[in-house]
Structure 1
Amino acid sequence: MDISQFAALRRELHKIPELGFQEVKTQAFLLRYIESLPQEHLEIKTWKTGIFVKVKGKKPTKTIGYRADIDGLPITEETEYEFSSTHEGLMHACGHDFHMSIGLGILTHFANHPIDDNLLFIFQPAEEGPGGAQPMLESEIMKEWKPDQIVALHIAPEYPVGSIAVKEGILFANTSELFIDLKGKGGHAAYPHNTNDMVVAACQLVSQLQTIVARNVDPLDSAVITVGKITAGTVQNIIAERARIEGTIRTLSPESMARVKERIEAIVKGVEVGYQCETVIDYGCMYHQVYNNHDMTKEFMTFARAQEEVEVIECQKAMTGEDFGYMLKEIPGFMFWLGVNSPYGLHHSKLQPDEKAIEVAISLITRYFEMKGIA
């Protein structure tokens, strides 16, 4: 297998990043390649902008799944790649181009060399938002082809090529978006007593939100509330009638997420009364924690440590979010970090992962599936 072929595919995919459920060009590109493979053992079905590919086993007793996410981000690329994004304002800044090319590499091997068990390749849209894993999991195709085990990876800029990082149990946090709209009474800056100023209300609300983690979350647990954006007002001499707060919540347990939201709602109610305003809370896109099955992860780590070209790092849990958590909630399996050695991190406009990691991942997962797929 010519691994450089999959680096070339990654470059083509890198040029055409698309937002969640808009991955029309990406889906067409993937389908063209998949349909060029030997079709004797393949069955292909599309779902919205995603794709399911089943590789029929020779004498199957189970199905093993591999998931690759396919969407990009609304980030203007600032790399010096000759193959940089051709879609203005969009970029594969989270490595989904890597995830897809690795998936195609593994699929190519098994289309030509099927194992005893079935394999299911899932090319999933909308991981960055609004979330494609949960509705894909609930689809009729998944109900028919639901795997018995599922695996995914995510590139990790901070780890060197040749390494993977993984742990049993919780790997990524529960996450939720947070949008709070406030509506008061605007007016002239010279007559504040005739208004209900939403700039002041929003500022007070942000300060109060930061007390939740300090005073309402168990110190031995972990949670984060980050407000990343505030918008309010029109010009300097008009008191703002409206304000909007945008942020994110991250916790290491579903129970803490529920508790944090309960406190947010109580504090917002207090702001409503104190500042005589109307409020609306929207939690937007919510992702379930990524929780790695203990036995399967332990087995995979033992297998990976036996591979001479792979260094296995037992990592710490992270407050990042991934909608693969929904799949792991229903299907036992695991996710791991793939070292790609980039000086710039995930969601950065200059992210430049090392393509040598593609070969590492294809080789590792192919051999793992061969080991797991013997009847």
Structure 2
Amino acid sequence: MKQVATMRDIIFEWFHHFHENPEVSWKEVNTTKKIASILDSFNIKYHLFDDVTGIIAEIGEGKDVIAVRADIDALWQEVDGVMRANHSCGHDANMSMVLGAMYQLKDMSLNKRIRFIFQPAEETGGGALSMIERHVLKDVTHLFGVHLRPAEELPLGKVAPAIHHGAAVFLEGKIHGIDAHGARPHQGKNAVDVLMAIQQLLKNLHVDPFEAYSAKLTKMVADGGSVNIIPGNATFSLDVRAQKNEVISKLQAHIEKGFTNIAALFDVSIEWEWLDMTPGAEVSEEAASIAERSIIEELGTDYLAPAVVTPGSDDFHFYTIQEPSLKAAMIGVGADLTPGLHHPKMTFKKEALLIGAKVLTTTLKNAARG
């Protein structure tokens, strides 16, 4: 007689498939097809998009909608000397936990609909906005997310009702000076000097000592083609982060003013473009409270952790920035995850998938019956 698969077996099987078949942002074609095939096996209605990857599904009845989002893309990074797609971001786990919740909720009696948003392109920062443009928040009152947390934030078994991500924005810039012979520096405009001034600018950014923020040069390329040529041109990149959205706006203003002054000081031109702004978390107390009660109901008070505050970012928070009335929270699941998110050899205890799926099931159930 064939043995019936347990919930554990099913979730682990999904995770193994997603982990072994990663796809980068906007190219999650087979991932989307796999999720659709799982939904077909559940006889759950879903909607595909003509122009982007991703998929949304819905269960239950009622006017109002409780939504949950799972990000489906992987990173592109070097693993054992080979550049490839890699789920070091943990999105394979997020999909598996959300599908696990769907599996347990699909036959329950609910007062509201539950919408499952399988979102592309979280890592590039545009996926949430693409879903908002396609009206996935129609009739949604509450939105939940879920994400595994690094070991330094949460151990296996502990679950937090909210993650307070920081805001992040990236910049790419170009310096246009004049090349010169190494023996005649007065005839040129040295882009390396300008880069050093930019580094000093970043080290002297002062907003509020009680706020968490940082601004770093992450790329500098200045090459005159030979060791005796002073380079006039250079490209550079910045990574700018803050825990609050208003602080990162102040940092951007300070940096732009500094660039203008540096360009005038060295008589060069500096071009720059801000890229991939990801807002900081705007957590709803009501949504976090629902998640907290659900953690206690499912696991007990010993497993409840305080809300996580992390400098990492997530485009999940675009949903609340674009729809301020939305009540949202992302649940953090301890997994003994090491060495850390985005490390090419990231690993975690798979038992966390079962814990996350259980908590998410109870959270969505309680929200949909409220």
TM-score, structure 2 as length reference: 0.90
1:54 aligned counterpart, secondary structure: strand
CA shift, 1:344, in A, is: 1.0
3-state SS of paired residue (2:314)? coil
Q: Is 1:193 matched with 2:198?
A: no
SS of 1:292's equivalent in the other structure is coil
Instruction: Report matched runs for 1:163-178 at 5 Å.
Output: 163-167=158-162, 171-178=164-171
SS at match of 1:149: strand
Alpha-carbon distance, 1:316 to partner: 4.6
2:146 paired residue number: 153
Residue aligning to 1:220: 210
User: Which residue identity lines up with residue 267 of structure 2 in the other structure?
Assistant: Q
Distance 1:33 1:138, change over 3 A: same
Q: Which letter maps to 1:365?
A: L
Task: Give the whole-Å Cα distance in 1 for the aligned partners of 2:109 and 2:287.
Answer: 22
Q: CA deviation at 1:89?
A: 2.1
Aligned with residue 38 of structure 2, among 33, 39, 59? 33
SS at match of 1:93: coil
Q: Is this contact kept in 2: 1:151–1:334, CA < 8 A?
A: yes
> 2-side partners of 1:68 and 1:171: how far apart?
17
Task: Give per-residue Cα distances to partners, 1:257-308, cap 9 Å, x unaligned.
Answer: 2211111111111111111211111110001111210122123213312333
* Among candidates 45, 49, 58, match of residue 48 of structure 2: 45
Counting only pairs closer than 5 Å after superposition, residues 198-277 of structure 1 correspond to structure 2 as 198-212=191-205, 215=206, 217-233=207-223, 234-277=225-268
8 Å Cα contact 1:46-1:52 kept in structure 2: no
CA distance in 1, matches of 2:79, 2:146: 23
Paired positions, count: 357
In the alignment, the residues of structure 2 paired with residue 308 and residue 336 of structure 1 have an alpha-carbon distance, to the nearest angstrom, of 14
What is the match of residue 3 of structure 2?
none
Partner of 1:63: 65
Quick check: 2:286–2:327 contact (8 Å CA) kept in 1?
Answer: no
**Secondary structure in 2 aligned to 1:305?**
helix
| Equivalent residue for 1:76, pick from 65, 70, 78 | 78
The equivalent of 2:306 in structure 1 is 314
Distance in 2 (alpha carbons) for counterparts of 1:211 and 1:226:
11
Once residues 146 and 69 of structure 1 are traced to their aligned partners in structure 2, the CA distance between those partners, rounded to angstroms, is 21
1:166 Cα offset (Å): 3.8
Q: Report the identity percentage.
A: 22
- Segments of 5+ residues of structure 1 without an aligned counterpart are 80-86
Q: Distance in 2 between matches of 1:361 and 1:135?
A: 26
- Supply the RMSD in Å over aligned alpha carbons: 2.1
| Distance in 1 separating the partners of 2:127 and 2:57 | 17
> Is 1:91–1:349's contact at 8 Å kept on the other side of the alignment?
yes
Aligned-partner SS, 2:34? helix
Report the Cα distance in structure 2 between the residues aligned to 1:237 and 1:156, rounded to whole angstroms. 49
TM-score (norm 1): 0.89
Q: What CA distance in whole angstroms lies between the structure 2 residues aligned with 1:46 and 1:108?
A: 23
Question: In 2, Cα distance between the equivalents of 1:100 and 1:269?
Answer: 45
Task: Report how far residue 343 of structure 1 moved.
Answer: 2.7
C-alpha deviation, 1:45, in angstroms:
3.3
Change (3 A) 1:368 1:196: same
Counterpart of 2:306, as a letter, is E
Letter in 2 for 1:43: Y
Q: Secondary structure at the match of 1:102?
A: helix
Aligned match for 1:342, one of 331, 337, 344: 337
Q: Which stretch shifts more, 110-119 or 124-133? A: 110-119
Matches within 5 A, 1:353-372: 353-372=348-367
For 1:326 and 1:211, the matched residues in 2 are separated by 30
Distance 1:229 1:166, change over 3 A: farther
Which shifted more, 17-26 or 118-127?
Answer: 17-26
Alpha-carbon displacement from aligned partner over 1:37-88 (angstroms, at most 9, x marks no partner): 224xx2333361111111132xx24211010001111222359xxxxxxx94
Of 8, 22, 47, the residue aligned with 1:3 is 8
Amino acid at match of 2:89: C
Equivalent residue letter for 1:225: A
8 Å contact kept, 2:161–2:289: no
Find the aligned partners of 1:237 and 1:8 in 2 and give their Cα distance: 59
Q: Which amino acid aligns with 2:287?
A: M
Shift of 1:369: 2.0
3-state SS of the aligned residue for 1:100?
Answer: helix
The CA distance in 1 between the partners of 2:72 and 2:83, in whole Å, is: 18
Task: List alignment gaps of at least 5 residues for structure 2.
Answer: 1-5
* Secondary structure of residue in 2 paired with 1:285: strand
Q: Does the residue aligned with 2:310 lie in a helix, a strand or coil?
A: coil
What SS does structure 1 have at the residue aligned with 2:124?
coil
